[in-house]
Amino acid sequence: MLRRLFGTRMIGFVSGGGLGLRRAGPSVRVRGFLGSSVRARHGTARGVRWFAAPSVGAAGAAEVKMVATAPQVIPRKIGDVVEDFELVREEFVAEYASQARLWKHKKTGTELLSILNADENKTFGIVFRTPPKDSTGVPHILEHSVLCGSRKYPVKEPFVELIKSSLNTFLNAFTFPDKTCYPVASCNEQDFYNLVDVYMDAVLHPAMTPDTLRQEGHHFELDDIDGKMTIKGVVYNEMKGAYSDPERVLAEYSQEAIFPDITYGVESGGHPRDIPDLTWEQFKGFHDR
């Protein structure tokens, strides 16, 4: 479907609260970038082609200036529709020598932001709005859980298998206070499409069960019959470590004081105090919504 939607060279997407794709025609060599990696170490725009342009300075001395060139893009006009995605806005961003296009799905309203430039990376990211109502960490646990196998890829840890076998240049997932992002990137086209396929199936058709919540969220363990029952879980243990940082605790208290009645006043990553309160029904219901 991705190839049909955006041709033979689909270079990824960055989106706000929905899906997004980037595309160039078969004869056009363009690349995409993830929004968080726009600038290189020295502040120059990534994905920009530069060439030396000789000129004469004020004193008559020869100078060489570095000039950014814009990427070639297939012409589109506002209102064009491709696979039910309608182009609603287009703009050239001179600072990054990139063509930005905003698409909107006619039936679902899903927004899709494509960025076309000369970066060698083909990049993709799917983003969901996931504002939590409490500090049980449901979006964070869900971020982990969807990468534990899916309908098309029913293996225990596809994320780990991708890390071992893929040519990816970036592969991760992030939980923010109000959204969750799943980005991938690769310079190899076939590898890129494989990564996109695995991630899309993971987030839309995860093979989650109550055991997934126990593994990634919380469960009880008893190492010795005379010992003490303890709570364990991937996210639970991760957040226990996070809350051992005094600055993290101070930041949480500050945020609670500033935003006491909205989503930014709770911990989207999950508080160790509250994570054990998360039930399977709440967890599954959050994903279904």
Compute the half-sphere exposure of residue 120: CA atoms within 13 Å on the CB side of its CA.
Answer: 4
CA 259, distance to chain mean position in Å, is 25
Evaluate whether 135 touches 274 at the Cβ level (below 8 Å): yes
Cβ-proximal residues to 70 (8 Å cutoff; 6+ apart), any chain: 92, 97, 99
Evaluate whether 38 touches 20 at the Cβ level (below 8 Å): no
Helix (H) or strand (E) holding 54: strand 49-56
Kindly report the number of other CB atoms within 10 A of residue 187's CB atom. 15
Active site residue 143: yes
63's tokens: 């100078």
CA 258, distance to chain mean position in Å, is 27
DSSP character at residue 286: H
Q: Determine which one of 83, 86, 90, 143 is catalytic.
A: 143
Q: Provide the residue count of the chain.
A: 289
Pairs from 21-27 (Cβ < 8 Å, separation ≥ 24): 21/85, 21/103, 21/112, 21/114, 21/124, 22/114, 22/115, 22/116, 22/123, 23/74, 23/114, 23/116, 24/71, 24/72, 24/73, 24/74, 24/116, 25/74
Q: Determine which one of 91, 95, 216, 256 is catalytic.
A: 216
Evaluate whether 79 touches 86 at the Cβ level (below 8 Å): yes
Q: Which residues are catalytic?
A: 143, 216
